[in-house]
Amino acid sequence: MSLVLRNWEPYNLLREFDNVLSNRVQDGIWSPKVNIVENEKGYTISAELPGVSKDDIDIDLKDNTLSIKGEKKVKTKDETENYIRVESSYGKFERSFNVSDDIDRNSVNASFKDGVLTLVLNKKEESKPKQIKVEVK
């Protein structure tokens, strides 16, 4: 007796499981991967957005929520090409972050290069660490 699994591809099962775990695609909206770094001056958020035009990105800072939204448009399929697999994420994307009150909201900067969106959120002067020297008498 032998067991035959038809139309079963292990990779598809793993990919679907990965999407459930990471919430990368939910309700048709995908979430770009981000890196967040903190230093004395502030925070830097880098979001991977390959294939997205800078004109298709919206950044909003409202109350204590920083939101990155946009859309990666679907490449028009050529009827003469036979797509075997499409793993790229297309459609609307969104990521939101809670930010603290120590952010200087008037000095947030955004740049976009090589498919990476970089946001720099500077800390308010009073929030930055200060070094105090101790004098010996």
Separation between Cα atoms, residue 24 and residue 134, nearest integer Å: 51
Residue 131 near residue 42 (C-beta atoms within 8 A) = no
- pLDDT score, position 127: 63
Residue 13 is classified by DSSP as H
Confidence of residue 83 (pLDDT cuts 50, 70, 90): confident
- pLDDT score, position 109: 94
Please report, to the nearest 10 degrees, the dihedral formed by the alpha carbons of residues 62, 26, 22, 5 taken in order.
-170
Set out the domains of the chain in order of their start, with CATH numbers: 28-125 (2.60.40.790)
Q: H/E element holding 15?
A: helix 10-22
Say which range, 21-30, 62-71, 111-120, has the weakest mean pLDDT. 21-30
- pLDDT score, position 118: 97
Query: Could you tell me the strand order of the sheet in which 42-48 lies?
Result: 34-38, 42-48, 116-122, 109-113
- pLDDT score, position 64: 86
- pLDDT score, position 88: 78
